Amino acid sequence: MIKEVLLSGKSRDGLYVLSASSATSLPQAFSSTCLSTSVDVWHRRLGHPSPRILHLWVKNKVSCTSTQFNFYYLACPLGKSSRLTLKTTGHQTRAPLDLIFSDVWGPSPILSSDGFRYFVIFVDAHTKFIWFYPLVAKSDVFAIIHQFQTLVERQFSLKIKSVQTDWGGEY
C-alpha cells in the first residue's frame, strides 16, 4: 500500500472543506460516471436523500444514463420523520416501572444486516423511556423479557409492577 496524500484542504469550523483544486493526485475523486448504475442505486448510496436533492446531485456531480426518479422507499419518509408524540393513556403512575407497555413487531419484509426480522419495545408509562430489542425469531422474546427485567430493576432499584401488551400472543 502506497501512502500518498489524495486530497488536502483547509479546516473550517472543524470540517475540511475540499474543492476541485484541492485534489492533489486524484482529481477524479470529485466526478464519477455510472454507466451501469441507476439513479436508484445512487439514492441508496447517498443515504436516501429527497428526490430534489438527488436530482441536484445527479445533475451537477455524476452522470447517469437514466435520470428517472420513479422510486419510493417506505424507509425514506419514516427515517426522516421526527419523533411522534405519545398519546395520553389515562393511566396514572407514581414511579418508574409501575406500568410497562410492550409490543412485538414483525416479521419485517426485509431481513436486517444483522439477521433480525422482529423487534420488541418496552415503554415505561411514568418516564416515557423506551427500550428497543431486535429479535432474530419471535420466540426470542421470552429471553429478552428476562434480560429487560434484570436491566431496569437494577437501573431503577425498583421492581416492575405491571406489564400491558396488546394480547397478541407473543408472551
| 6-18 per-position pLDDT tens digit | 667 777 777 777 6
How is residue 57 written as a grid cell? 446531485
What's the whole-model pTM score? 0.50
* Each residue's pLDDT tens digit, 29-80: 444 444 456 777 777 777 777 777 777 777 766 666 565 655 555 566 656 6
Range of the domain at 58: 10-75
The domain that holds 126 is classified in CATH as 3.30.420.10
How is residue 8 written as a grid cell? 488536502
87: in domain: no
154 CA to centre of own chain? 28
84: in domain: no
Number of folded domains that form the chain: 2
Q: Which residue from 105, 79, 85 is spatially nearest to 166, judged by alpha carbons?
A: 105
81: in domain: no
